[in-house]
Structure formats: C-alpha cells, structure tokens
Amino acid sequence: MNTRRAKPILRIQFLGLCMLLGLGAIVLRLWWVQVARGSDWTARLQSSSEATVRIPSIRGEIRDRNGVPLVQNRASYEVDFYLPEMVKGYRERYGRPPETQYRARINGMPKDLKEPDIVRIVNNGVIPRLEDLELARDYNANQLQRHYRNDTEVPYSYIKDIDFATMAKFSEHDVGLPGVDIAIKPVRSYIYGALASHLLGYVGAPDDTNTEEARKYTFYQGDVEGKSNVEKTMDEYLRGQPGVRVLRRNAKGVIDGVLREEPPKQGANVYLTIDARIQSIADEALRAVGRGAAVVVDPTNGNVLAMASVPSFDPNTFIPSIKAKDWNGLRNDAARPLINRAVSAFPPGSTFKIVTSLAGLRKGLAKAKFTCTGGVYYGDHYFQCWINEKGGSHGTLGLSDAIKVSCNAFFYQYGNAAGIDAIDETGDELGLGKSTGIEITGESPGVLPGPDWMRVNHPNEKWSSAYTANVSIGQGYDLATPLQMAMAYSTVANGGISYYPRLVDRVLNQDGTPALDGDGKIAVPQTPKLHADFRRDFTPDQIEIVRRGFWKVVNEDGGTGHAAQLKDVQVAGKTGTAQAMLNGKKDTISWFCCFAPYDHPRYTIAVMVQGGEHGGSVAAPIATRILQRILAMDQGKYEPQLAWVAPAHKDHPFDMIAAVKYKDEALAAPGSDEENATGSGTQPAEAAVMANPGGAPDVEPEADARGRVKNVSRIRRALPATPVATPPPRHRNFFERMFNVQPREQPAPQPTPTRRGRPAF
C-alpha cells in the first residue's frame, strides 16, 4: 500500500473519530443536563417563579399561677415596603432609578459606592399616592436608606400598628403601588398595663438577624425576642416556630398572588408563681411612695407571690416599637422607672440583724447578754447606738430583747463575739452576697463583706473589729436586695429551711404537655429549690429565740414595728433604716421584713423605700396593708379587681417621707423611733447597686427632614415633574427601508400588575 496515500486516510479517520467523540460528549452532556438533572432545573425554574416570605412565629403566653393571662398576643396591622419590588417597579416605569453615593469600607479600605436612591423613589412615587388617600406618614429617611442597603430581604415597616380606620381606607381604595402591602403580625399585649412590668419585661427586634436563615427566603420577617426579665429568660420556650408564605411571580417577575401558606406555630405558655391578685395588692400599696419595692414570698416553698417596684412603666409602650422620645424619656428619668428595685442592692440596715443573730447562735451565744450604755468604742472610734441621740441607753439585753428594740450597741458586741467568718457563713447560707438565680435579668448579687472581700476590693485597707461592728447592724459595705431579705426571713419563718426563690412555676406546650429542655428533661420542675437547711446546725429552740425577737418587735411595748400590728393575726417582723449614697448625696433607706401568721406562716413580706425616714413609720405600714388584704382575700372578705393600671410615678419622687398613710386608714403608731444607723463614720455610706434594666428595645427614630411629608410635598412642588423614560429610537428594518415605511410608535408603558394584582407606578 502506498504510504503517502495511507497518511491522509489515517488523518481523516482520526479527525472523524475526534468528531464522533465530540458529538458523543455533547450528547452525553445534553443527556446529563436535560434528563439526569432535569428535575433540578425544573425545581429551579419553579423557584424562580416563586417568592417566599418568612412568617414570624407566635410567642406563647405568660400567665400567673392560677392561669390568669398576663401577656397575650394581638394582631397588629402594618404597612410594609418591599423595597426591591419598589426599585423594580420604578425601573419598569421610568427606566434607570436615581442613585445615591455612600462611603463604605471594602477590604479595610474606604470606597465610594452607588445604590438606588430609595428615598427619592418613595418620595416621588409612593408618598404622592398615599397623600391622595390621606395615608402618608412622616418617617426617617436615613433609616430607610440604611435598611435598603443592609436588609433587602426584610420588609421596611412604614406604618406600625395602624388603626382600624387607616386599615379600612387602605382596603377600600387599594393604593395601587408595587412593594406596598398590609401585613398582619402578632405582637405582645400586656393586659394589665404597668402591673408586674418589672417581672414580665418587654420584647424588641433581635440584635442580629440570622443571615443564614434569611438567605432561605426571598423576604425575611424575623421574630421579636425578649429583651428583659421573663420575656428574655424564658425566650427559648416562649418562641414558636415560624411559618412560610409562598408567593407567585408572573412572567414579568412581578408578584401577583399567593400559592400556599404554612402557618406559624405558637410557643409554650409560661406560668409564673405570681398570684395576679396579690401582685395587684402589692402594686397598689407601694404607690404610696415614689421609690421602693415590695416582695411577697410563700415561706413554705420559696415561691414568689408578688414582686412590685416603683416607679414603673407600661411595657405596651414598647409594642410594636417604642418612639425615640419615649425611650429617651424613660432612660433619662431621674427616678429610673426601668429599674427593678426588688432585685437591686441597698444597705439593709437593721434587717441584716437576722444574719448576725443566727451567726451568734452558731457560735453558742444563745444566752449571751451585752450592755448598752449608748455606744461602744472600737479603737479610737465611738460606735453609738441610735438611742444615744435621745440621751438614753438600753441597759443589759439578751438577743430577743435586743432585736425588739434594735439595739445597735448590743449587736456591735454580739457580732464581734460571733466573728465575721460566722456572719459571712450564715449570710451565704441565707443567700446573701450572690445572685439568687431567679428568672429576672440584671439581678444584683449584693455584697456580703469580709476579710477576703476586703483584700480584693479594698487592698489598701485591713479588716478590723470596727468593720465587723458596722456589718453586724447592716451598714458599712453591706448590700442586699429586697428579694434576698424576703428569702432570709422566710428561712426563720419556716423554722430553718433556706429556699431559692421560684418565679416560674411551669412551662406547658400548647397541647398541655410540659416543655422540655435541650437534654430532654422537663424545663421547669414543680419542686421547691433547697438552698440550705439550718436545722442541721440549730435546734428549734435556738431559731425560736430569733423568731420571738421578731414577734416582740411588732407586738410588745417598746418594739419598733407597732405599725405592723393586725387585730386577729400575729405578725412578726423587723424594721430597718440605713444610709446609702445616691448621685453623691445621702439617701435614707427604710425597711420592714415580716411574716404571718406567727405560728404557721403563709406569707413573708419585704418592703424597701428609698427616701423613707424610718422603717417603722414608712415601710411597715406598706407591708401591713399588703398582708392585711392578702389575709382578707384568703378569708373571702376582699377580692382585688384586676384591671389595667397606669405606670406609677410620683411628681416629686425624691422628697423625704416621714410616714405613710392611706386614705381609708388611720395613721398607725410607729412605735419607738428606730435607728438611723450611721455606724462610727469610719467609712462612707455604700452606694446602692441598681439592677440592669435590660437590653435595648426596638426604637423607632424620629422623622428627619427628608422623611417629613410636608417637606416632601414642598420639595416635590418646587421641582419639575419626574421625566418618564422613553425607549431609544429604533432604526428601520430592511422591509421598512425598501417600502419607505416609518417605524411604528412604541406603546406607552402600561401599569404592571404586582402583588394582589395592583398596578405599578
């Protein structure tokens, strides 16, 4: 065979083989794309014709121990702007949208970027139509532009919580604008206004949007989250599961209907240990003063039955968002209404003598007696008793009588005999100097000072008997919260069992089953939480010495708590008055802690009043009113009327209060004047430590110049009308040139149907 002829043939065959392989590869690729992955492309095509909207979950309710709803949900109608839809509608109607420039940082370097000027689009294309219907509202233009830049998936809420008349006007006239929609969202409703506001807390927009979840949806509507107190601490159970709404896009990519919808699921219901009736009683009684707190506890199990604080606030102000001026007003109020004083720490004064008393019993001082001559020297400092200011003395006293007359000189000596270590150990077992773990945000742990605490916090000072003397009467560095003191007095009331306070009683799913935690266990067991058992170290007779002292405070002549006497029920308690620092000035703190009935205590109450001259004349009457009405309620003689209440706020909350008197009661005799304890003056009065009020809510900024409707109208009238973009001239085709035919006029752009079939701009 001729090799010269064979080579071209081989080349042709090789080329043919390559062509066959290429065609085979193309066929294989077509098969792979169209057949093997046909379902994937079909799904993508379907998804491109759909838009998904995340529907926020519905939070569970918060109820009291008896199932009375305190927090529920209501429907809120909002006017939302879907900003990408607006830009798309503007582009289709007018052509290229107006742009604005902003400075950003790319890879750490500043750079000028451009984006659609959504403010001009809204002002020129949306506001006029809304004005025609008298539906236009002022808004913050800077916030709108930032929202478009950072949260394109999230609708912008233009009008929140619209009233029925506005909603009806929207529905009746059909505003006919792309990207404008009325959304129904569940929002919180705090049924009784300011009642228990410091327990329930408030909600707001999440601090960080879940970007991973947001990418799954075309439009993302996030859940609100708890920002303070029970709303925050129980947020994981209160939150439900979100739903999804699938919208249909037409051939032009415009939304024109709903394909399907999966409704959201409601979260679990949280039941508190609070009794709404007792909470109402405590709230009403505490409103006699400008700044204070009251806590009611069941001493048999540690359940918190009521916790009130004044001044207060209405959490409905935060729903669906709080106005900037309202938020600034709450934060800048000198009386600090957002602060929960029931879990804020104050010098406890003579109510701390419960700790010193038990510490001495631990050290075998049950029968010890000490003499009060008006004061005691420690070093070169004279620690006086309150009675010394009246020119008297208490003489020789035992523990019960020293509690009755609140003799400081006795407790200076008694506390030093017991020793600071015994005082700190006893205080720790009673729950002082540390957080209780109650389901409230921002709780202050207080201070239980001692040598170790001194080395850490005041390294240049050395602990001495003078410091122990001050601590023994609840002054110096001592700080305790009303909740802690209520739990401490509950321990003596029930005979020696120290409980942790319980605020959440149970958490139930919507089907009534208990909610489970991440480990599959019941989220909140309905059992008391034991902290310590004093019965292991104390005999019943020893604890009774302290209990008897508290009984004498109220029921014997010379006691400092006569104002707490009741006709048919024996009450035991302890008054206290202390000095604290407030904004660099001295602030008197009055206390009264009590329990009743004496033989079988059912209630322990701790009342603290800032600016009260004496515990016996200010705090004791408040506690008495609370206790009296609770007992009457138990007997069926009094039924509190639950109703919406306005925030508690006195016109002059910093005025000193000499005595508390209610309009329907006579002024009770305060008994003997009680100490205004100042110790020796070797250390300044300690500043109260206020609880953290909670996280920042969803604050709605004030309207700015570009977002004020009047300014928008004035500027729009001064400027020429927005030009309508026209398509570029079209060159004649071959047949038109041959027959000298002019190109046909292009039809004017027609309104494009959008969501719900409404026309575009």
**Is the pLDDT at 172 greater than 80, yes or no?**
no
Q: Which of 4-8, 105-109, 416-420, 737-741 has the highest mean pLDDT?
A: 416-420
The token pair that represents 260 in the structure block: 């399907």
Q: Which of 231-240, 310-319, 583-592, 618-627 has the lowest mean pLDDT?
A: 583-592
Long-range contacts of 104-109 (CB under 8 A, 24+ apart): none
Per the CB < 8 A criterion, the answer to whether 254 and 178 are in contact is yes
| CA distances to 192, 314, 317, 344, 698 from 646, in Å | 9, 7, 11, 23, 22
pLDDT at 40: 60
pLDDT at 175: 63
230-256 pLDDT per residue, tens: 999 999 999 999 999 888 777 666 666
Task: Please report the DSSP string for 432-467 in residue order.
Answer: TTS----S-TT----B---HHHHHHH-TT----HHH
pLDDT at 621: 95
- 315 sits in the region (left: phi over 0; alpha: psi -120 to 50; else beta) called alpha
**Domains of the chain: residue spans and CATH:** 50-269 (3.90.1310.10), 276-634 (3.40.710.10)
- Provide the β-strand partners of residue 645: 193
- 74 sits in the region (left: phi over 0; alpha: psi -120 to 50; else beta) called beta
Task: Give the DSSP H/E element, type plus range, for residue 17.
Answer: helix 3-31
493-527 pLDDT per residue, tens: 999 999 999 999 999 999 999 999 888 899 999 99
Per the CB < 8 A criterion, the answer to whether 595 and 298 are in contact is no
The token pair that represents 64 in the structure block: 């009291």
Q: How confident is the model at residue 48 (pLDDT cuts 50, 70, 90)?
A: low
285-327 pLDDT per residue, tens: 999 999 999 999 999 999 999 999 999 999 999 998 999 999 9
- Provide the β-strand partners of residue 156: 81
pLDDT at 16: 77
Q: What percent of the chain has pLDDT over 90?
A: 56
SS3 740: coil
Q: Of 470 and 29, which is predicted with more confidence? A: 470
712-732 pLDDT per residue, tens: 776 666 555 444 333 444 444
pLDDT at 715: 63
Rounded to a whole number of angstroms, the distance between the first and last alpha carbons of the chain is 81
Q: How confident is the model at residue 734 (pLDDT cuts 50, 70, 90)?
A: very low
Q: How confident is the model at residue 360 (pLDDT cuts 50, 70, 90)?
A: very high
**Is the pLDDT at 363 greater than 70, yes or no?**
yes
Per the CB < 8 A criterion, the answer to whether 268 and 300 are in contact is no
Return phi, psi of residue 187, to 5°.
-130, 165
104-146 pLDDT per residue, tens: 777 778 888 888 999 999 998 888 888 888 888 999 999 999 8
pLDDT at 265: 93
pLDDT at 84: 87
Return phi, psi of residue 617, to 5°.
-105, -15
Q: How confident is the model at residue 747 (pLDDT cuts 50, 70, 90)?
A: very low
pLDDT at 676: 47
**Is the pLDDT at 739 greater than 70, yes or no?**
no
Per the CB < 8 A criterion, the answer to whether 505 and 273 are in contact is yes
**Can the peptide bond before residue 747 be classed as cis, meaning omega within 30 degrees of 0?**
no
Mean pLDDT (the chain) is 85
Q: How confident is the model at residue 41 (pLDDT cuts 50, 70, 90)?
A: low
